[in-house]
Amino acid sequence: MQELENKALDSWYANVLACYPENRGQGLGSKLLEVADEIARDAGYNTMSVIVADENVGARRLYERKGYSELDKAPCVKEGWATETESWVLLVKSLS
């Protein structure tokens, strides 16, 4: 994942965005992303970035609705971790 982060060094990186399953579908993710955009702009950034697991279709759909697009991807190194994730996907969006 660090290799992907390094491909967007001039961006404000949203490291973790999550909510409990019972709170999904209420617009909380969109609101959190809007706050992150505001913080990034105030800090002088013109680009946002986030990394999402390839199988996390709901999160990816949210990011794409908010203007993110795929920049790159990298294989998930599992090292014994039980996951369906095959790749990490770096998504970016312009704030200008």
* CATH classification of the domain holding 57: 3.40.630.30
Q: What is the pLDDT of residue 64?
A: 97
- What share of residues in the chain are helix, strand, coil (percent, to 5)? 35, 25, 40
Cross-strand bridge partners of residue 92:
49, 69
Q: What is the pLDDT of residue 78?
A: 78
Taking the whole predicted model, whether its pTM rises above 0.85 is answered as: yes
Q: What is the pLDDT of residue 1?
A: 81
Q: What is the pLDDT of residue 88?
A: 92
Domain that holds residue 85: 2-94
Which residues of the chain are modeled with pLDDT < 50? none
Q: What is the pLDDT of residue 82?
A: 83
Question: What domain count does the chain have?
Answer: 1
Q: What is the pLDDT of residue 7?
A: 93
SS3 29: helix
